Amino acid sequence: MGEQLRLMAVHAHPDDESSKGAATMARYVAEGVDVLVVTCTGGERGSVLNPKLDRPEIWEQLPELRRAEMDRAREILGIRQEWLGFVDSGYPEGDPLPPLPDDAFALVPVEEAAAPLVRLIRSFRPHVVLTYDEDGGYPHPDHVMTHKISMVAFDAAGDPERYPGEGPVWQPLKLYYHMWNMRRIETLHNALLAEGLESPYGEWLKNLDPKRDKSSRVTTRVECGEYFEQRDDALRAHATQVDPDGQWFAVPRDMQVKHWPTEDYELVRSMVDSPTPEDDLFAGVRERVSA
C-alpha cells in the first residue's frame, strides 16, 4: 500500500487556513492524506470583521474566541492543527506606519522563529508543504514572516547540521505558494455580469496594479470544486473574522464550480520529477512514496 501521504500548510493566523487552500485540504483529507495546519500566531491583534459581532464583549474575548473558531474550522475540514505560539503583530496602518509591538511575531529573528517549525516538520514528516509567497499574499507583516520561516524550515529540516536539537532530520519533497490567481477573479466577474448579476470585483479589477497580478506564476491547479461548500463552512466558523453577507460569499457556489473549480499554486521547490503544469500537489511524490 505504501506510506500515507502527508501535507503541511503553514499559515499566519486562524482563519487563513480556511480562506487559502481549504478546499484543496478537504479534498486530500477525503482521499486519505494526513493534513496538518500550522498556525504561527493566535490572531490576538485581529479585528472583528463581522458587523453582527462587533461588540465590546467580543473584542475582550477575541484571543479565546479565535482559538475556539479554529477548533471548529479544523473539525469541519478534517485536518490536524498545531500552534507555533507567536503573538500576532497586528496590521500597521498610517503614514508613517507605526512601529510593531515589541512582542510581535514579525520582529522575532527569522532563524529563531523557524525553530519550532523545523521541529514540527521533523515530527510530522510532510511530503508537501504549502506557504505564502515573498509578499505574504498580501503585505501583512505576519504573512511575510510566515513566508520567511517556511523557506528556512523547508531547507533546514533535512540538514543534520542545522537545528540539531529539533529532532531527526526530514526533507519534504515539494514546496508550494498559494496563488491569488487574478484570472479567476476576472473569469468570475465576467460570468456574473453575463448572468445579469452584480459583481463584487468591479472596483478591485479597475484599481488593480498589473504588477500585482501573479497569474503567470501558477504551475498547479488542484480541482476541488466539490469541496467548496466545506471550505465555506470552515470560513464561516471564523465568525469574528468573516462577514457572512460579505464578498467572500458573493459569488454563487455553483458558478464558482462551473467557471473556476480549482485552487491554484506555484511550485517553488521540488525534490522529485514533476513537470508543470500539474493538477496534483503530490505529482511525482506518489511514485516516490509507493516505491
Residues contributing to the annotated binding site for Zn(2+):
13, 16, 143
| Grid cell for residue 138 | 498580501
Q: Which of 188, 252, 256 is nearest to 226 (CA)?
A: 256
Q: Do the Cβ atoms of 155 and 202 come closer than 8 Å?
A: no
Q: Do the Cβ atoms of 41 and 87 come closer than 8 Å?
A: yes
- The span from the CA of 199 to the CA of 203, in Å, is 9
- The span from the CA of 143 to the CA of 145, in Å, is 5
Length of the chain: 291
Annotated binding site: 13, 16, 143
- Whether omega before 200 lies within 30 degrees of 0, making that bond cis, reads no
Q: Do the Cβ atoms of 24 and 222 come closer than 8 Å?
A: yes
| End-to-end alpha carbon distance in the chain | 10
- The span from the CA of 231 to the CA of 31, in Å, is 16
- The span from the CA of 153 to the CA of 163, in Å, is 10
- The span from the CA of 287 to the CA of 233, in Å, is 33
Convert 33-50 to b/e letters by CB count within 10 Å (16 or more is b). Answer: bbbbbbbbbbbbbbebeb
| Grid cell for residue 108 | 522575532
Helix (DSSP H) and strand (DSSP E) numbers for the chain: 11, 7
